[in-house]
Copies of this chain bind each other. A is one copy, B any other.
Amino acid sequence: MMDARRLFPVDQVVLREVGLRDGLQLTRHYPTTQQKLDWLSREYRAGVRHFEVGSFLPSTRFPQFADLRVLIDATSRLDGAYSTALTLNERGVADALETQVDEMIFVVSATESHSMANTRRSRAEAIEMLARIDAQRRAGRSDLPVLTAGIAMSFGCSLEGEVNPRDVIDISERAIKAGADVLAIADTVGFGGPAQVAWMVRELRRALGDDQPIAMHFHDTRGLALANCAAALDNGIRVLDGCLGGLGGCPFAPGATGNTVFEDMVFLCKTMGLQTNIDIDGLLAARKVVAASMPDEPLHGALARAGLPKVLEDA
C-alpha cells in the first residue's frame, strides 16, 4: 500500500471539494474551463487543498468533464493541492495514469442490485476489477496515485431500500484487500442518519484499524448531511466531502439538495473546535463565482443566507 497519509495526514481534518465532479454530474449547465479554474483557485486561496475535479469518461457523453486534464494540471501547480478523479474502468485508469492526478476513485456498490443496474457488474466482479486497477497503476506510474474505493449506497439504496450495514463493512474489507488505499463511504441517496454513521465508523475502524484512511461522502437530500458529518467527526473520521453551495442533486429525488454544503461544513468544524485552515469569507466569495458561472442552478446553504455569527466575525 502506498502512503495515502501524504494526502490524508492522521488527525488533520481534510475537507474535500467535490463540486467540480459530483457537483456537475447532473447539472444541465456547467462552467467554462476558465470559470472552473477560477473556482479552483479561489477555493485554494481560501485554504482548500483537496479537489475532486472530474471523471475519466468519454467526453462525447460527459462533456462537463472534457477539460479534466486541464484541471489536474492546474491543481498540480498549486503548492500543497491534490487532485482526485473518478476512474470507473481500466480505460479510465489508463487515461488517469498519463496525468499527474493524485488520487483515483473506483466505485463499488454496497448492494448487488445497484451494482448490476449501474455498471452491469456484480459486486464480486467490481472487486476483481479493483484488483486489476491496482495492478495497472503499479505498472503504469512510478509515483503511484492513491487508489480509493468509493462505496456507493452505503446507508440505503435507491433500488433495494434498506442496506445491511454488515454488507458495507464486508465490501469495504474486500476493497482494501483488493488493493485500495482509502475508503470513501458514500450515502449516495441521502438515506442515512447520524446514529447509523456513528455505528458504521466504529465498525469500520474496528474491522480495518484506526490507521485506515476513511473518507465520508454525504448528501443533504433529507437534511441530515451536517448531522452525519458531526457524527463522523465525533467518531474519528477526518476526511469529508462537500461542495460549495451544495451543488449536486440526487438522480432519484428531482429538486432535492445535493452534496454537503462545503462552507456550512467548515462552520460545523469551527464550532467543534476542529482546525480546517479554511477561511469562510473566502469560500463565500468563491461561491459567488460558482453562482455566476451557473446562474440557473440553485445553490443551497445556510451560512450564505445568514452570514457568520458574531462570535466568528470578531475572531
Contact = CB atoms under 8 A, between A and B. Distances in A.
Given A230-B227, A271-B196, A257 B302 contact: yes
Nearest to A161: B310
A192 B230 CA distance: 13
Interface stretch (A62-70, A96-104, A138-146, A248-256): A248-256
A193 interface: yes
Contacts of A303: 222-223
B271 A311 contact: no
Interface stretch (A8-16, A37-45, A80-88, A260-268): A260-268
B222 A306 contact: yes
Interface string A274-315: 000000000000000000000000000111011101110110
A143 to B, nearest CB: 38
A272 interface: yes
A220 B314 CA distance: 21
Interface of A: 156-162, 189-196, 220-224, 226-227, 229-231, 234, 250, 253, 255-257, 261, 264, 267-268, 270-273, 301-303, 305-307, 309-311, 313-314
A303 B189 CA distance: 12
A162, A222, A224 — most chain B CB neighbours (10 Å): A222
B158 A310 contact: yes
A25 B217 CA distance: 37
B220 A302 contact: yes
Contact of A302 (B222, B271, B272): B222
Contacts of A305: 253, 255-257
A246 B6 CA distance: 42
Contact of A230 (B160, B231, B314): B231
Contacts of A162: 311
Contacts of A195: 230, 234, 271-273
Given A224-B268, A226-B227, A301-B223, A306 B193 contact: no
18 contacts: A157-B310, A161-B311, A162-B311, A190-B306, A191-B311, A194-B234, A194-B271, A196-B271, A222-B309, A226-B226, A226-B227, A227-B227, A227-B229, A253-B305, A253-B306, A256-B302, A256-B305, A256-B306
Nearest to A264: B223
A264 B161 contact: no
Nearest to A250: B306
Contacts of A270: 193
Given A160-B310, A255-B306, 4 more contacts: A161-B314, A193-B268, A253-B307, A256-B305
